[in-house]
Amino acid sequence: MMLSPAWREAVDALARRKLRTLLTLLGMIFGVAAIVAMQGVGEGSRREALKLVESLGLHNLIIEAKPQDQDSLKEIRARSLGLSEADARAALLVVPGAERYAAEKRVHRWAVFSDDGQSTAEVSGITPDYFRLAALRLAQGRALDTRDNDSLAAVAVLGAQAAHDLFPDGKALGRLVKVNQVWLRVVGVLADRDLGQDKFEGVSLGADANRVFVPLQSAHARFRFQPMEDPVDRFLLQLKDPDTLAAGARVLTQVLDQRHAGAADYRMIVPQQLYRQNQKTQRIFSIVMGSIAGVSLLVGGIGIMNIMLANVLERRREIGLLRAIGARRGDIVKRFLREAVVICTSGAVIGLVFGALLAYAIALFAGWKVAWQPVGVLASAVACVLIGLAFSIYPARQAAALDPIAAIRDE
């Protein structure tokens, strides 16, 4: 109850100098807004990157066959038969901590249709563990299994978009799809996974929604491939401990170099390293933006000091009268610090709102995501108040140090 009049008096004192107070607020508002917007966009980007990398598998090593022109391919095939499932099996035996593998081979399709529709879906032959390693979930039916692969079964699992295009009524299970000249029975439909983009750090994410998956051995037996093609286009090797990925990658490279007689017909992708590279870029961005925001807060703090010094000069008689009727130096200091707290708190609150709006505006314009860390947002507001108080101490002490008699006589 005793503090209410004092704080109200601080607000009234600032309200009497509206323009000066507003100019002081701007520095704090822009500083907090820049930090909040940076945090919102940065955290959203981090979570989006993590989601994209998880689609590749944070525990995975990915080996892809390199595309070659015809002349280079003939030369390479003299030494290497290309990437194959046998390479994946060898890696599973040799690489420390390797748990399982999944291989994939793209089919050259020219037609994908059903009785109810047609699709532009890509077609891939896969081994049974592919869905697990690629973090794909089923919405209907079942996944492809070892029995399908061994028996060369004419079955397929559809991505969500492919299922919608081929069966607009949503009833795909048990029905037939024709890929090129081969009829396949649908046994499963994947859950829709909207990643928002097709690539991450230059690596294709697969666009699994518009895909048709068949057993790998069925693909080799039922579809035609070009001479000298790699038996598989890529395989994923999952390691139990993500901390051993770097060592596992070195061992796997040695195994493949030996099996391929040193032919550079493959490339290795470590999703974990892609994520770290992405986060390194994000940290640089955050440091730059944080520095800019820090400078803005510093300028805001200097602005507060200026207005406080100006207030001290204008209110010398007021200060002298307060001292004359018994106010102590500490009371004068508290009086000016309360005004500083009002400015800083107001700037922080407005800055939080403006920063949130700015973050969503940036996200809308650039197509990015926004996410929030409450601790970081709160820290930016607290930093604003602390900086303002730090720059207000000197003017407040100057006011308290005025000689009461000299201050009263001052016109």
CA–CA dist 39, 351 (Å, integer): 13
Q: What is the mean pLDDT of residues 350-361?
A: 89
pLDDT for the residue 275:
76
Report the pLDDT value the prediction gives residue 317, as an integer from 0 to 100: 78
- At 2 the pLDDT is 45
pLDDT reading at 328 higher than 50: yes
Token pair listed for 52: 């994209």
* pLDDT value of position 3: 47
Q: How far is CA 65 from the centre of its chain?
A: 28
CA–CA distance, 87 with 83 (Å, rounded to integer): 7
For residue 409, the model assigns a pLDDT of 67
Band of residue 264 on the pLDDT scale cut at 50, 70, 90: confident
* C-beta separation of 52 from 321 below 8 A: no
The predicted-structure confidence for 80-111, as pLDDT tens digits, reads as follows 888 899 999 999 999 888 899 999 999 998 89
Please, which pLDDT band fits residue 202 given cuts at 50, 70 and 90?
low
**What percent of the chain has pLDDT above 70?**
92
The secondary structure element, H or E, covering residue 394 is helix 374-400
- pLDDT at res. 329: 77
Average the pLDDT over 343-360 and give the result: 88
Per-residue DSSP letter, 223 = S
42 and 286 Cβ atoms separated by less than 8 Å: yes
Other Cβ atoms within 10 Å of 211 Cβ, number: 23
Of residues 299 and 114, the one with the higher pLDDT is: 114
Structure confidence at residue 195 (pLDDT): 62
Nearest-angstrom CA–CA distance, 198 and 209: 11
What is the rounded CA–CA span in Å between residue 43 and residue 371? 5
What global pTM score does this model have?
A: 0.67
**191-200, 246-255, 296-305, 374-383: which range is least confident on average?**
191-200
Q: Which tens digit of pLDDT belongs to each residue from 205-217?
A: 557 888 999 999 9
Of 148 and 411, more confident: 148
Which has more pLDDT, 162 or 1?
162
pLDDT digits (tens, 9 = 90+) for 107-156: 998 899 998 889 999 999 999 999 988 888 899 999 999 999 999 999 99
176 pairs with which residues across the strands? 185
Q: Is the pLDDT of residue 390 over 70?
A: yes
As a whole number, mean pLDDT of residues 239-260 equals 88
Q: What is the mean pLDDT of residues 218-238?
A: 89
CA-nearest of 109, 208, 115 to 162 is: 208
Share the mean pLDDT of the chain. 83
* Mean predicted confidence (pLDDT) in 382-408: 79
**How many percent of the chain have pLDDT more than 90?**
23
The secondary structure of residue 201, as a DSSP letter, is T
Q: Cβ(162)–Cβ(211) under 8 Å?
A: yes
